[in-house]
Amino acid sequence: MLVSEAEGGIQTWDKEKEGQEKEEEEEEETAPSSPNLPLAGKARAEGPAEVKPELHPLQNRWALWFLKNDRSRAWRDNLQLLTKVDTVEDFWALYRHVKLASKLSSGCDYALFKDGIEPTWEDSRNRRGGRWLVSLAKQQRHSELDQLWLETLLCLIGESFEEHSSEVCGAVISIRAKGDKIAVWTREAENQAAVLHIGRVYKERLGLSAKTVIGYQAHADTAAKSNSLTKNKLVV
């Protein structure tokens, strides 16, 4: 199965299930479920009322995507939606459940995007946008990659960019032999104030030194490029 590299039991997201979950919650508290499947609805339905854990809702629902590069297929066909989370508890259940990014093989990506936005340049909410790109040296995979990705995820779900958090679409980690990459995608490359604010906060949250420069690139430029170098619209 395509996603087996990323996870050991998460069922891939099934849109039809979305409607069914509510019904199941109401009528079947004891329905068997995968102990590893992070579903807020089930957690809410379980347990006697007095010990019901309090769940902490996220401001947005987020979808985790996985991409395993199979060159025999179209790029979009390699993209798979794993699951969605909308509480802090579900986020941690998911994070603990999937493989660390550093353990994925080259060519794989994880992407965490707001529900409803696909992690593609073509999605209408990304089309005019771009990304803050953190390019890592090969040796950073073992020392820093997982920590940087976790911090990126926490910036997203914690809505860390103040009023500009609404500009954030998601983030992608790309495992590559030539050097791994982490990027935060925003929706409007021309919205300079928001892009700069997000870049500055993000760089600080990652703990990057002042002399490390990260660049913001428009997806339109990345998609049109003929080599790996896309010009930076902004740097911090």
d(CA 83, CA 13): 5
Q: Which of 30, 139, 209, 228 binds ligand MGP (CB under 6 A)?
A: 228
| In the complex, least distance from residue 111 CB atom to ligand MGP, rounded to whole angstroms | 9
Give 124 or 209: the residue with its C-beta nearer to ligand MGP.
124
Q: What angle do CA 89, 95, 97 make, to 5 degrees?
A: 105
Query: Near ligand MGP by CB under 6 A, which window of 14-22, 23-31, 114-122, 146-154?
Result: 114-122
Q: Does 127 bind ligand MGP (CB under 6 A)?
A: no
**87 vs 174, which CB is nearer to ligand MGP?**
174
Identify which of 190, 197, 151 has the alpha carbon closest to the alpha carbon of residue 171.
151
Q: How far is the CB of 80 from ligand MGP (least distance, A)?
A: 14
Return the residue of 12, 25, 55, 121 that touches ligand MGP, per CB under 6 A.
121
Question: Does 77 participate in binding ligand MGP (rule CB under 6 A)?
Answer: no
Contact 234, 195 (CB under 8 A): yes
Residue 56 CB neighbours (<10 A): 10
Q: How far apart are CA 55 and CA 111, in angstroms?
A: 24
Q: Using the minimum distance from each CB to ligand MGP, give the nearer residue, 36 or 222.
A: 222
Phi/psi for 78 (5° steps) reads -90, -5
State which residue, 176 or 205, has the beta carbon closest to ligand MGP: 176
Q: CB–CB of 230/213 below 8 Å?
A: no
Closest distance between ligand MGP and the C-beta of residue 219, in Å?
A: 7
If one asks whether residue 120 binds ligand MGP (CB under 6 A), the answer comes out as yes
Q: Please calculate the CA angle 59-84-165 and round it to the nearest 5 degrees.
A: 30
Stretch that binds ligand MGP, among 40-48, 52-60, 120-128, 194-202 (CB under 6 A): 120-128
Give the Cα separation of 112 and 94 in Å (integer): 12
Is residue 174 within the footprint of ligand MGP (CB under 6 A)? yes
Number of Cβ within a 10 Å radius of residue 59:
12
Min separation Cβ 44 and ligand MGP, Å: 35
- Give the residues lining the site for ligand MGP (CB under 6 A): 75, 120-122, 174, 176, 228
